[in-house]
Chains A and B, each alone.
Chain A
Amino acid sequence: MDLVQMQKSLQDYTKSLFLEGVLDSQFLQLQQLQDESNPDFVSQVVTLFFQDSDRILNDLSLSLDQQVVDFKKVDPHVHQLKGSSSSIGAQRVKNACVVFRNFCEQQNVEACHRCLQQVKQEYYLVKNRLETLFKLEQQIVASGGMIPAMELGF
């Protein structure tokens, strides 16, 4: 695949993520913060997000598996995940967290279990998509090309 094709693929792929609602405009905000002096900013932040989220999801699983669920512990975790996913533009993860928090408030254990599954699903989805996106970018850079700026004609 030549450079132009790779760049087009990347743009199409990124666009699809927005169209599917996997990413929102906050991701574009992050891209604005990337430049020659900070060429890996987005992937750095996203990597931190992954590390943070892995930990939070683990803690959440443990908390919800307790005999008596302590919602005072569960809610802050979800709040944290909601915040960080919002900060990187992981829209569906964020939305799933919003639903999760509502059920935390209601102290509905069963619903919370379902919410956790939903959050995990969305999280693994965005993780997978972003990892693919970064790979595409790396291929372009390795071929001596530049990452094209996002063109949003939709």
Chain B
Amino acid sequence: MARDGGVSCLRSSEMLNVGLGGMESPPLDLDEVHVLAVDDSLVDRIVIERLLRITSCKVTAVDSGWRALEFLGLDNEKASAELDRLKVDMIITDYCMPGMTGYELLKKIKESSSFRQVPVVIMSSENVLTRIDMCLEEGAEDFLLKPVKLADVKRLRNHLTGDVKLSNGNKRKLPEDSVTVHALLPPPPALTLSTDSSDSSPPLSPVEVFSSPLSSQEDDDVLTTSPGSSPTPEESMGRRQKMRSPGLD
């Protein structure tokens, strides 16, 4: 059963792997996408973790901005040489969190030399345009409206795979002898959960039927205001339009 605290794990067997500080674990396969998920809600953490894993991502889930910074090695002035090897391909964070908001975390990440290139996605239950603009302006990759759906995560994942393939030159290479800080990582998903499963999972038609009219699969639902809303600056509009369905072309 999951336990609250720093890192959430679904299965008790995974708890054996918990604990920062030099536990030996195999270096990450460079082809695997590693996502750091940040959310103070336990329920949401479990869901986002599962959403990411079902789309073949490795996930580290933490419950606060502070723990995220700690994990990234950004919580003190001196950058740790070991932690500098950390491979994080995306950070997805809740906006509303006590202590440090997702926006504040975003800023800190973009200020860091090691991680400013890492795409940061913000999640929020509130569709507030000014909030969205603010995050995009600060360099957020995307903004997801909660509750997050599988289609949202798949879209992010596809986008990410594109980036990883194209810009492998930018990604830090893991030296063979480094010990990564992935003691927190759960074991890889079972073999049955291949990438294929995300495309040919159990009957999707009922869900597709149900979710297309209601969900915000198209970014339009996330981005549009109600009719007759106040005009937005062109710049923000442009940025938000750029967000639209990057993976749906």
Contact = CB atoms under 8 A, between A and B. Distances in A.
- Judge: A and B partners, yes or no: yes
Nearest to B98: A76
A7 interface: no
Contacts of B96: 79
Contact of B42 (A28, A36, A48, A82): A48
A28 B1 CA distance: 22
Interface stretch (B45-53, B75-83, B109-117, B155-163): B45-53
A88 B43 contact: yes
Given A44-B46, A83-B41, A88-B43, A28 B190 contact: no
Contacts of B197: 35
Contacts of B44: 83-84, 87
For chain B, which range describes its interface: under 10, 10 to 19, 20 to 34, or 35 or more residues?
Answer: 35 or more
Given A48-B2, A52-B43, A152-B209, A87 B201 contact: no
A120 B44 CA distance: 21
Interface stretch (B21-29, B30-38, B146-154): B146-154
Given A25-B214, A86-B147, A32 B204 contact: yes
A26 B192 CA distance: 24
Nearest to A89: B147
A58 B36 CA distance: 32
Contacts of B46: 44-45, 48
A48 B1 CA distance: 9
A37 interface: yes
B3 to A, nearest CB: 11
Chain B binding surface SS class? loop
A86 B2 contact: no
A32 B43 contact: no
Contact of A26 (B41, B147, B189): B147
B233 interface: no
Given A32-B204, A87-B44, A149-B206, A37 B125 contact: no
A41 interface: yes
B128 interface: no
Interface in A26-78: 26, 28-33, 35-38, 41, 44-45, 48-49, 52, 76
Interface string B51-65: 100100000000000
A153 B41 CA distance: 34
Contacts of B42: 48, 52
A32 B150 contact: yes
Interface of A: 24-26, 28-33, 35-38, 41, 44-45, 48-49, 52, 76, 79-80, 82-84, 86-89, 149-152
Smallest CB-CB A-B distances: 10 pairs: A37-B190, A84-B43, A149-B203, A87-B147, A152-B206, A26-B147, A33-B50, A86-B147, A25-B214, A28-B207
8 contacts: A26-B147, A32-B202, A35-B193, A44-B10, A84-B41, A84-B44, A89-B147, A149-B203
